[in-house]
A and B are shown apart, each in its own frame.
Chain A
């Protein structure tokens, strides 16, 4: 069964600085998708970024980018120019073809003014 690990339960970053959240996963599949979801205090899960495993190019969405290392099964999220509104729980997630999402345990990010 696929598993997703986030080794950092909590992290903090100074406003305007850069922070990287780690995620590793385990799968025997070759085609799959990886996601980062953000859950702010409002509890609404928001899709941050999506990566297709067959694409070597790392996905980027404005201040959010990923470092996807397929061989190492690593999928880290970099947040540049951190803002107070970035404070949230961040979940890494995996989905394979014909499967349901598998979520990591989450990383709580605090942004310090």
Chain B
């Protein structure tokens, strides 16, 4: 069974801390994505990557960065966590190009609270 695994289900961090959210997929997918999920706003794309060491900004990249050193791993970094980054973070992966139209596979999410 294919999987996207997010390292933490819940995280509590202090304002100003550097936070790493890790995501690993075992499907050999080229594409990986980080979304933020907030009530009434749906899923908003933060960053995505189509290949190793490649990254592209999504719709709400401010305050975030990413790293993709290996094909299977895509990390989201909050350089200096703030309370407005308290949210649910979802990682997803997909095949490349038109095969992405078959849909994304999602992780189970990390609920991050910044205090």
Contact = CB atoms under 8 A, between A and B. Distances in A.
A95 B33 contact: no
Contacts of A98: 97
A100 B102 contact: no
A6 B42 CA distance: 10
Nearest to A5: B42
Contact of A45 (B45, B58, B98, B106): B106
Interface residues of A, number: 23
A101 B40 contact: no
Interface in A27-56: 33, 35, 37, 42-45, 47, 50, 52
B101 A105 contact: no
Contacts of A95: 100-101
Interface residues of B, number: 24
Contacts of B45: 100-101
B43 A91 contact: yes
Nearest to A45: B106
B104 A101 contact: yes
A8 B43 CA distance: 16
B88 A104 contact: no
B24 interface: no
B42 A105 contact: yes
28 contacts: A4-B42, A6-B42, A9-B40, A35-B103, A37-B106, A43-B88, A44-B107, A44-B109, A45-B106, A50-B102, A52-B101, A95-B100, A97-B98, A97-B101, A98-B97, A100-B33, A100-B45, A101-B33, A101-B43, A101-B45, A101-B104, A103-B35, A103-B42, A103-B43, A103-B44, A104-B42, A105-B41, A106-B40
Interface of A: 4, 6, 9, 33, 35, 37, 42-45, 47, 50, 52, 91, 95, 97-98, 100-101, 103-106
Given A101-B33, A105-B41, A106-B42, 7 more contacts: A6-B42, A37-B106, A42-B108, A45-B92, A47-B103, A103-B35, A105-B40
